[in-house]
């Protein structure tokens, strides 16, 4: 019996990834609770995130080389097997009551390295498994893998923590990785055309993706726009929870509603993207979504002072992200030769993940040392912006959201004004697969 192929095969793999993401989200939630209970340190939690994202940044160039040398199926399975091993090592530590904080830092380093392989490998697999017109739907489905578990994972994890503790959560997480591997094994993933033609050194492979982007000015300009908005998003993302808690004096119920409504927006955005007809000018939609993300999602969140404003802002943030990421990813899949997508997408992954630790590292000191004290005192900053964001607790965070929103809108406008960004889809030709070479049919003998 032949293995499933094409979009049907991708859908089977997607189900495995959805289950795996749900298990991972549950584990992340449970580990965050464990760290907070044992340390009471926000710095410890931030360092865990830094270890994960920093590791992905560090290993991305290496991962790109491996993805394009291995088959796509091998790349995905290796990353999943590594994740299983890490999860069960962590489970063993909890079963023997020998878990220490540095173990969790190391786990995040290993997990980040594996994600450096998994993310680009899946992105590069889409272009192999289906025709170009279905890239957008596949990317929308992959976005739902990020957003859908957010709705359910915290509640599931909190329930299991109360009933059985963290050990069962880790076991479930490990089993979801097994399910993900099975879905990859039972489908057909085509080999990359021309993968064996190119002979390069390891170090050439590590820098190939960066050179590829730099040598194509329109793609470089698009990457600069995406990195800029990702950096601004990370700068504010670290402060979404503190702003609500500061302005509501610790009302966790309001915070939960804001996050849940935001997650609903993410699922809706992914669903709309999956079923819409691919727009003719995808980059213009990306830039429009950046403007909505910045103006509604960031500025409104900063000036808002209640559930309705915050929930609306988070809804539009999560609604627009699938359009930004999904459409941009589709453009790259259409333009880049599948034989080099592993290295190119790993280079993109490097910049995308680099923005997160930079934003997180800058946000805390900027708010704690500068903006919050300035907005609560008799200062020029409070006199200038107090009417907009207030002068009580959280006003400095609110001002940062407004600044981030204004800068993000500026990035969107700059993209519209740049021909390289605005017209990238016409300036860079689509990659067209080489026609399949078939042996010549035997010719009939000529008549005398």
DSSP assignments along 100-151, one per residue = -HHHHHHHHHHHHHHHHHHHHHHHHHHHHHS-GGGHHHHHHHHHHHHHHHHH
Q: Would the pLDDT of 79 be above 80?
A: yes
- pLDDT grade for 321, boundaries at 50, 70 and 90: very high
- Residue appearing with tokens 């995040």: 108
For the domain covering 204-432, report its CATH number.
1.20.1250.20
pLDDT value for 442: 44
Cβ-contact 283, 333 below 8 angstroms: no
- Residue appearing with tokens 């689509």: 430
Burial class (CB in 10 A: 0-12, 13-18, 19+), 7: middle
Query: What does pLDDT average to over the chain?
Result: 88
Cβ-contact 348, 332 below 8 angstroms: yes
Identify which of 23, 140, 1 has the alpha carbon closest to the alpha carbon of residue 91. 23
Which of these ranges, 92-106, 193-207, 233-247, 315-329, has the smallest mean pLDDT? 193-207
Q: Pick the residue with more confidence: 447 or 233?
A: 233
Domain 1-188 matches domain 204-432 at the CATH topology level? yes
Summarize the confidence of residues 113-140 as an average pLDDT: 91
Identify which of 330, 293, 298 has the alpha carbon closest to the alpha carbon of residue 415. 293
- pLDDT grade for 20, boundaries at 50, 70 and 90: very high
Question: How is domain 1-188 classified at the CATH fold level?
Answer: Growth Hormone; Chain: A; (1.20.1250)
Identify which of 438, 213, 440, 170 has the alpha carbon closest to the alpha carbon of residue 335. 213
Q: Would the pLDDT of 104 be above 80?
A: yes
pLDDT value for 444: 44
- pLDDT grade for 198, boundaries at 50, 70 and 90: low
- pLDDT grade for 435, boundaries at 50, 70 and 90: low
Summarize the confidence of residues 256-263 as an average pLDDT: 83
Contacts of 223 (CB under 8 A, 6+ apart): 213, 348, 351
Put residue 377 in one of left, alpha, beta given phi > 0 → left and psi -120 to 50 → alpha: beta
Q: Would the pLDDT of 447 be above 70?
A: no
DSSP letters of 52-98?
HHHHHHHHHHHHHHHHHHS-HHHHHHHHHHHHHHHHHHHHHHHHTT-
Task: Supply 315's token pair.
Answer: 């809804």
Please state, in angstroms and rounded to a whole number, the distance separating the CA atoms of residues 63 and 120. Answer: 8
Domain segments of the chain: what residues?
1-188, 204-432
Please state, in angstroms and rounded to a whole number, the distance separating the CA atoms of residues 385 and 400. Answer: 11
pLDDT value for 241: 78
Summarize the confidence of residues 285-311 as an average pLDDT: 95
3-state secondary structure of 48: helix
Task: Supply 6's token pair.
Answer: 């094409």
Which of these ranges, 300-314, 319-333, 350-364, has the smallest mean pLDDT? 350-364
Q: Sign of torsion, CA 409 410 416 421? A: negative
Q: Would the pLDDT of 59 be above 70?
A: yes
Summarize the confidence of residues 333-361 as an average pLDDT: 91
Contacts of 27 (CB under 8 A, 6+ apart): 87, 157, 169, 170, 173
Q: Would the pLDDT of 195 be above 90?
A: no
Model confidence pLDDT, tens digit, residues 363-417: 878 888 889 889 987 888 999 999 999 888 889 999 999 999 999 999 999 999 9
Identify which of 19, 436, 7 has the alpha carbon closest to the alpha carbon of residue 187. 7
Task: Supply 212's token pair.
Answer: 């590829």
Q: pTM of the entire structure?
A: 0.86
Q: Would the pLDDT of 187 be above 90?
A: yes
- pLDDT grade for 440, boundaries at 50, 70 and 90: very low
pLDDT value for 326: 94
Please state, in angstroms and rounded to a whole number, the distance separating the CA atoms of residues 309 and 76. Answer: 41
Q: Would the pLDDT of 92 be above 50?
A: yes
Cβ-contact 64, 343 below 8 angstroms: yes
Q: Pick the residue with more confidence: 44 or 211?
A: 211
């Amino acid at each position: 019996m032949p293995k499933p192929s094409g979009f049907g095969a991708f859908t089977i793999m997607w189900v495995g990834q959805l289950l795996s993401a749900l298990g991972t989200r549950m584990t992340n939630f449970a580990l965050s609770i464990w760290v907070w209970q044992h340390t009471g340190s926000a710095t410890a939690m931030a360092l865990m995130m830094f270890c994960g994202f920093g590791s992905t940044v560090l290993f991305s160039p290496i991962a790109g080389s491996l993805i394009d040398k291995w088959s796509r199926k091998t790349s995905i399975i290796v990353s999943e097997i590594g994740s299983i091993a890490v999860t069960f090592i962590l489970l063993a530590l909890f079963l023997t009551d020998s878990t220490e904080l540095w173990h969790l830092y190391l786990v995040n380093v290993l997990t980040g390295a594996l994600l450096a392989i998994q993310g680009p490998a899946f992105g590069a697999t889409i272009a192999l498994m289906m025709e170009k017109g279905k890239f957008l739907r596949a990317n929308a489905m992959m976005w739902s893998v990020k957003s859908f578990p957010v709705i359910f994972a915290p509640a599931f994890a909190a329930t299991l923590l109360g009933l059985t503790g963290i050990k069962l959560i880790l076991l479930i997480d490990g089993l979801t990785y097994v399910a993900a591997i099975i879905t990859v094994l039972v489908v057909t993933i085509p080999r990359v055309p021309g993968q064996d033609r190119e002979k390069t050194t390891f170090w050439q492979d590590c820098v190939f993706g960066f050179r590829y982007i730099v040598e194509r000015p329109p793609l470089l300009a698009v990457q600069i726009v995406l990195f800029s908005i990702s950096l601004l998003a990370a700068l504010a993302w670290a402060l979404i929870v503190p702003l609500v808690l500061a302005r509501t004096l610790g009302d966790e119920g309001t915070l939960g509603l804001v996050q849940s409504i935001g997650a609903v927006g993410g699922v809706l955005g992914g669903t709309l993207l999956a079923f819409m007809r691919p727009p003719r000018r995808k980059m213009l939609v990306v830039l429009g979504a950046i403007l909505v993300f910045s103006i509604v999602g960031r500025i409104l969140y900063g000036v808002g002072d209640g559930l309705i404003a915050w929930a609306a802002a988070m809804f539009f943030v999560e609604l627009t992200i699938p359009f930004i990421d999904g459409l941009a990813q589709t453009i790259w899949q259409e333009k880049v030769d599948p034989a080099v997508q592993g290295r190119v997408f790993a280079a993109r992954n490097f910049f995308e993940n680099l923005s997160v630790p930079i934003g997180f590292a800058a946000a805390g000191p900027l708010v704690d040392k500068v903006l919050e004290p300035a907005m609560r005192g008799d200062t020029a900053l409070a006199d200038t912006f107090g009417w907009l964001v207030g002068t009580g607790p959280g006003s400095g965070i609110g001002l940062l959201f407004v600044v981030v929103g204004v800068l993000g809108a500026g990035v969107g406008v700059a993209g519209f004004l740049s021909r390289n960004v605005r017209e990238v889809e016409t300036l860079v030709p689509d990659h067209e697969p080489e026609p399949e070479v078939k042996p010549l049919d035997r010719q009939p003998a000529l008549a005398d």
